[in-house]
Amino acid sequence: MALRRGVGLSFFLVLSILYLQDSYNGYSPPDNYLIDCGSSIDTTVGGRVFLADNSAASKFLSTPQDELASSPSNSTGDSSLYRTARVFTGSTKYSFPITQKGRHWIRLHFSPFSYNSYNMSTANFAVSSQGFVLLNSFTATATVVKEFSLNITSSSLVVEFKPLGNSFSFLNAIEVVSVPDELIQDDAYALPSGNFQGLLRETLETVYRVNMGGPTVSPENDTLWRTWVPDVGFLVRESLTKAVSNIRAVNYVTDGPSHNIAPSTVYGTLREMDSASDPNSNFNVTWQFNVDLGFRYLIRFHFCDIVSKSLNQLYFNVYVDSSTAVSNLDLSTKTFNVLAAPYYLDLVTGLTDKTSIRVSMGPTTENVVYPNAILNGLEIMKMNNSVGSFSGDSSAVPSGSTSKSSIGSIVGSSIGGIIALVLIGVLFVCCQKRRRRLTRQGLSKSWIPISINGGTSLTLGSKYSSRTTASVASTLGYRIPFVAVQEATNNFDESWVIGIGGFGKVYRGELADGTKVAVKRGNPKSQQGLAEFQTEIEMLSQFRHRHLVSLIGYCDERNEMILVYEYMEKGTLKSHLYGSGLPNLSWKERLEICIGAARGLHYLHTGYAKAVIHRDVKSANILLNENLMAKVADFGLSKAGPELDQTHVSTAVKGSFGYLDPEYFRRQQLTEKSDVYSFGVVLFEVLCARPVIDPTLPRERVNLAEWAIKCQKNGQLEKIIDPTLAGKIRRDSLRKFSETAEKCLADYGVDRPPMGDVLWNLEYALQLQEAVPQGDQEDNSGNMIGDLFPQSNNFSNMEAGNVSAVALEVEGRPADDGNMSDVSMNQVFSQLMKSEGR
Ligand SMILES: *[C@@H]1O[C@H](CO)[C@@H](O)[C@H](O)[C@H]1NC(C)=O
Ligand SMILES: *[C@@H]1O[C@H](CO)[C@@H](O)[C@H](O)[C@H]1NC(C)=O
Ligand SMILES: *[C@@H]1O[C@H](CO)[C@@H](O)[C@H](O)[C@H]1NC(C)=O
Ligand SMILES: *[C@@H]1O[C@H](CO)[C@@H](O)[C@H](O)[C@H]1NC(C)=O
Ligand SMILES: *[C@@H]1O[C@H](CO)[C@@H](O)[C@H](O)[C@H]1NC(C)=O
Ligand SMILES: *[C@@H]1O[C@H](CO)[C@@H](O)[C@H](O)[C@H]1NC(C)=O
């Protein structure tokens, strides 16, 4: 919700069309046969009517050599379906006319009790349908529901029950129900690698259907009347895990899984790592499921990130046994960048060579904000074996003889077992050969290349209708007609200029649909070449993140180079810290802004195959929207980076100077850690609310980074904190914050933390600020910093003392005079640099 409300962007309007809201209409199956066996009255369970089968429904029973049985007591279970049963002493068939071909579920309900001489717990029988052996040598000793799904291509479906030996068979209820086509797709990932194709033709038996971190979901709470069981019984080490529930957060998206794939009670609960106390946690959350040897299993993982506060925060690995099924899974990229949208993943195992399957989720070694891994739901479906059976002794498709001796059946089944093993071996070899390494769907880049001055211009209106299902991100970066830009900026009205830089002027504007924008119009004479302009559009379009200022469109008509960005109502972070007379930000607001900016940078560093270095991190490049949400700007256009706030345009070089990584000077080598350094300077700037270079101050104080580190080391940081924060920062929060800033300013890049750690620590500092113990009020100064504020930290009253030569030199030079220093500075701060991935 916040995503939609937060930003007045047409992009998000497009996204919001994707939301299904809660307008879900239930599925009504074309074929829907529900029979309460042995009952003389219809039975309603969870809103569905099971027909009594000694009346209307008896027409489905083709060979009624059976007895009605009814339980002498209510002891056989909670469901009224289970009070009656039908006992078959001979081979029996149920036949159902099929009105719509396709996948159907057969659900068989068994709940044994004793009736006359029939002790149903001892019944031994086989069930087959459409040539598949669903159950063989089956005995139900407790209430059990067996669910199979078959693609029915004929006009009737026959389910046959055959007693084995001298035994009999029984049944309490049967369902034959159409399955919506969306439920099973033809292809899946294959383990250990490659793709599996042909699921549409497979017959499946549901062996596990589990709601991770949540309660049992009963049929009435599932649009397809499925039962989901809790996961606790399958967890290997429950104590390492935590269950989370936030059902209302689930966002069904039209192109994503629907309620039929799994209900919100499944997507809205999950199990995650319980690592809150330790940022270095590294362990797997593992579940174990018993399975039969020699079968392939379809494993469906259900994910929905209801724990992250924003996109691209959660990366984790998915393992099945010792194979990595997916590494570095980032759900945001799978859900059209909608948070908490459901996503599922199908995976087909090889033939099982063990009697259990272990499913694990674990944190990744890279890209970690919080080490975490989640799973919302899991379904494990057995696939029929090569002879069309779900039972190990597969040859024994019962012949209908009720007098087969038990010895005969043992011999028969062991011979059958050998044949099956041979067949399995052959099949296994074939499958291995057939497997190809295919590039996995969804990992490919979804960016549609832009051709400059080629192709047709899109009108603004078309962005609302041109959405392709491939990816929302791919449709961004729209070409905007020049007339629309003219209109938006009141024909480049000089009074609408909000910034000037080497690249050209920045105007505020408003598009025809009311979207407020910032328009950067490239000066045709600027050094910024066409190719660079193109690269920047491409980069900006790829890096979509709520904490990066978004590109709305561009215009390249008439040799113009115009970029249109979302408008950031509240301007730069810098203007809210000092020099503008804007109201002071609270400590919490400052922390949240720093956290937002850190997220944006973390995404730049890790959100893409190659790390991207911003190269010009500073408070003037952190912009705030109307809700004070921070977004990092100018990461694609840093050449002579024009500021969006007019007041600091001419001080770009000076400003950036105070942020520059000293190691860059020494080694001429830029890494992500250079951004971390600059960000550390921003952190102190936020804490102290003073310019990073202030030549009017005594020499030792001119450079904020140096001065703050010195104070921090002497334990005197409190002296230089923004006086308006006096008494409002909790001591723990300040300590965490300043330690983090200090680490960012380490001399050597290797000693600085990655952006993910910085982010984590800032969030921790926010928690420490907000964690008010019971009965402890916000203004309890005992825990607060501020009693010791000296009068002397009013910097504006300081007299200019000995100013460092460097600072003077920088101060004395306008930003855009074309001398050599400017050129080198421009180079330092200019092009967006992609460093090779690690
Ligand atoms: C079984 O339960 C039903 C209602 O749930 C009740 O009417 C009936 O008397 C019970 N039968 C026995 C034998 O307890
Ligand atoms: C059933 O199988 C046929 C091929 O045998 C396939 O074309 C069809 O799409 C399948 N239907 C469903 C619902 O799986
Ligand atoms: C039915 O058979 C099961 C398993 O052999 C046995 O445990 C149970 O006691 C029997 N019940 C009756 C009523 O005989
Ligand atoms: C299932 O549905 C019933 C009402 O239909 C509701 O009271 C119950 O809370 C639901 N359970 C879950 C787990 O949502
Ligand atoms: C998680 O499980 C996988 C597969 O068994 C294993 O390779 C990996 O090392 C495990 N990770 C941890 C942190 O134990
Ligand atoms: C399941 O049975 C069908 C039809 O007999 C067969 O084509 C398919 O290969 C079988 N599946 C497996 C995994 O062997």
pLDDT, tens digit, 9 for 90 and up, residues 324-359 = 999 889 898 888 788 999 999 999 999 888 889 999
Element (H, E) at 363: strand 356-363
Asked if residue 197 has its Cβ within 6 Å of ligand 6, the reply is no
β-strand pairing of 102-110 with 173-178: antiparallel
The closest residue, in CA terms, to atom 10 on ligand 3 is: 119
Q: Could you tell me the pLDDT band of residue 313, with boundaries at 50, 70 and 90?
A: confident
Question: What pLDDT is stored for residue 124 in this prediction?
Answer: 94
| Token pair in block for residue 407 | 């010895």
Say which range, 71-80, 150-159, 375-384, 450-459, has the weakest mean pLDDT: 450-459
Specify the DSSP class assigned to residue 228.
B
| Protein residue with its CA nearest to atom 3 in ligand 2 | 201
Residue 536 pLDDT: 64
| 215 and 320 share one domain | yes
Mean pLDDT of 513-541: 70
Residue range 65-80: mean pLDDT, rounded? 64
Q: Is residue 492 part of a domain?
A: yes
Among 675, 670, 602, smallest CA distance to 836 is for 670
Residues spanned by the domain of 376: 198-394
Question: Does 613 map to a domain?
Answer: yes
Which ligand 3 atom sits nearest the alpha carbon of residue 120? 1
360 has a pLDDT exceeding 90: yes
* CA of 80, closest atom in ligand 1: 5
State the amino acid at position 527 in one-letter form: Q
Residue nearest (by alpha carbon) to ligand 3 atom 3: 121
Nearest CA to ligand 1 atom 2: 74
Query: How confident is the model at residue 253, as a pLDDT?
Result: 85
What b/e sequence results for 292-307 when a residue is b if at least 16 CB atoms lie within 10 Å of its CB, and e otherwise?
Answer: eebbbbbbbbbbbbbb
560 and 687 share one domain: no
Which-ligand-closest: CA of 424?
Answer: 6
Between 192 and 765, the more confident residue is 765
Q: Are residues 550 and 574 in the same domain?
A: no
Residue 457 in domain:
no
Q: Residue 75 has what pLDDT?
A: 54
> What pLDDT shows up at residue 506?
85
pLDDT at 116 over 90: no
> Which DSSP category does 179 fall into?
-
Q: What does DSSP assign to residue 515?
A: -
Catalytic residues: 616
Sorting pLDDT into bands at 50, 70 and 90, what band is 827?
Answer: very low
Work out whether the CA dihedral 328, 330, 333, 335 comes out positive or negative: positive
Give how many domains the chain has, as a whole number: 4
The CATH number for 600's domain is 1.10.510.10
Q: Which ligand lies nearest to the CA atom of residue 364 in the structure?
A: 5
Q: Do 160 and 206 fall within a single domain? A: no
pLDDT at 553 over 90: no
Note whether residue 221 is domain-resident. yes
Q: Residue 654 Cα, ligand 3 centroid: separation in angstroms?
A: 89
- Which ligand has an atom closest to residue 178 CA? 2
Same domain, 238 and 386: yes
- Quote the ligand 3 centre to 177 CA distance (angstroms): 33
Check whether residue 479 and residue 594 sit in a common domain. Answer: no
How many CA atoms within 13 Å lie on the side-chain side of 299? 29
Query: Mean per-residue pLDDT for 444-462?
Result: 26
Closest CA to 613 of 825, 369, 838, 832: 832
> Is the pLDDT reported for residue 462 higher than 60?
no
Strand ranges for 584-743 from DSSP E: 612-613, 622-624, 630-632, 729-730
Question: Is the pLDDT at 776 greater than 70, yes or no?
Answer: no
Average pLDDT over residues 826-834: 29
**375, 394, 413 — which closes off a domain?**
394
Query: Cβ(638) to ligand 6 under 6 A?
Result: no
Q: Are residues 114 and 202 in the same domain?
A: no
| Secondary structure E strands in 130-233 | 132-138, 144-152, 156-163, 169-171, 173-178, 187-190, 195-197, 204-211, 229-230
Q: Calculate mean pLDDT across residues 771-793.
A: 44
pLDDT score at 699:
84
DSSP H helices, 435-528, are 482-488
Annotated binding site for ATP: 520
Same domain, 584 and 710: yes
For the residues 109-125, what does the mean pLDDT come to? Answer: 91
CATH number (domain holding residue 68): 2.60.120.430
382 belongs to a structural domain: yes
Examine the pLDDT at 741 and tell me if it is beyond 80.
Answer: yes
Residue 356 Cα to ligand 6 middle (Å): 22
What pLDDT, on the 0 to 100 scale, is given for residue 610? 64
Q: Is 193 exposed, middle or buried, given 0-12, 13-18 or 19+ CB atoms closer than 10 A?
A: middle
Q: Which of 528, 544, 567 is the last residue of a domain?
A: 567
Return the pLDDT at 559: 76
**Residue at a domain's end among 535, 567, 599:** 567
Q: Per the domain annotation, does 413 fall within a domain?
A: no
Are 141 and 37 members of one domain? Answer: yes
pLDDT tens across 7-17, in order?
333 333 333 33
* CA 100 / ligand 2 centre spacing (Å): 12
- pLDDT above 70 for 203: yes
Report if residue 190 sits inside a domain. Answer: no
CATH number of the domain where residue 245 is located: 2.60.120
Residues 653 and 688 in one domain: yes
- Whether residue 417 is predicted with pLDDT greater than 60 in this model: the reply is no
* Contact residues of ligand 1, CB 6 A cut-off: 73-74
Long-range contacts of 325-333 (CB under 8 A, 24+ apart): 325/189, 325/191, 326/189, 327/364, 328/364, 328/366, 328/367, 329/303, 330/367, 330/607, 331/303, 331/304, 331/305, 332/305, 333/442
Query: What is the band of 440 on the pLDDT scale with cuts at 50, 70, 90?
Result: very low
Task: Indicate whether 595 belongs to any domain.
Answer: yes
pLDDT digits (tens, 9 = 90+) for 659-680: 888 777 666 667 788 899 999 9
Q: Read off the pLDDT band of 715 (50, 70, 90).
A: confident
Does the pLDDT at position 829 exceed 50?
no
Whether 551 and 576 map to the same domain: the answer is no
Report the pLDDT averaged over residues 433-448: 27
Whether residue 378 has pLDDT greater than 90:
yes
Q: Are residues 294 and 333 in the same domain?
A: yes
User: Please, which pLDDT band fits residue 754 given cuts at 50, 70 and 90?
Assistant: very high
